[in-house]
Amino acid sequence: MLDVKNLIVFFENAIALNDFSFQVNDGEFVGVVGPNSAGKTTLMNTLSGLIIDMQIKEKRKGGERITVYGSIVYRGRDITQTKPSERVRRGIVLSRERHPIFPESSVLENLKIAGFLRRKQEIREGIDFAFQLFPALVALKKKKAGFLSGGEQQMLAIGMALIVKPELLLLDEPLLGLSPMMQNTLMDAIVSLNKQRGITVVLCEQFARPVFPVIDRGYILENGMLTLMGTGKELMQNPEIKAAYFGI
């Protein structure tokens, strides 16, 4: 489904991703785990195409130079230079960290806004799906999104991504700043999307404990470089991973 080869991303003279390669098969749940500043968000922005918009904006204002090397192939087609809007149309959808919602609009309005590329019937179906996945949002649908808790905002952000009907759902640190209980709730919902709905998922996270037990395969990203890879079970049993991420 997705084949990323030798991906290198520079911000001016600083390297954010260094020769990173990985593959995602149809229907898989793949995790990319690493500490802060490992390059996870840069990877998500590059896969989704947002890095192209960032390049354009920086060039216009004479800011830092962003350079990307390598290739991204999706379903047999090279999309390395494809605009983010076109990637969305092809089924690649990113749910970004820190809740990219519209705070002055209600939960329901946010979900409707997210479906601007879809027909009305598809939007209604998507909203129903989001409420089925996150029942807690039903009672909040008229509430302004800016007044939601962190966990509720994250539910909404993922729900907005689902309105677009993704084939490949990219999740950038959805567990950031959430309580362990809310982390488990979100992970259960994401597993349901993958296993029951068949949506392929790539999740980037710094919290390994809730991620490794449910992923099919995982990649460890540190300082922009791939350091380890394997199944979730293999990574959990690796002594280095136990020491670094579980304190064992």
- Mean pLDDT across the chain: 90
The domain segmentation of the chain, as residue ranges, is 25-48+82-245
What's the pLDDT tens digit per position in 54-65?
A: 999 988 888 889
Tokens of 194: 């993958």
Percent of the chain at pLDDT > 70 equals 98
pTM of the model: 0.90
**pLDDT tens-digit map of 97-123:** 766 789 899 999 999 988 877 788 888
Provide the b/e sequence for 136-150 (b: ≥16 CB within 10 Å).
Answer: ebeebbeebbeebee
Edge-to-edge order in the sheet of strand 200-205: 92-95, 168-172, 200-205, 29-33, 217-222, 225-231
CB 80 within 8 A of CB 49: no
Of 221, 245, 247, nearest to 47 by C-alpha is 221
Contact (Cβ atoms closer than 8 angstroms) between residue 38 and residue 221: yes
Mean pLDDT for the stretch of residues 202-224: 92
Q: CATH number of 25-48+82-245: 3.40.50.300, 3.20.20.370, 3.30.70.980, 3.10.28.10? A: 3.40.50.300
What digits encode the pLDDT tens for the residues 37-95? Answer: 889 999 999 999 999 999 999 888 888 899 999 999 999 999 999 999 999 989 999 99
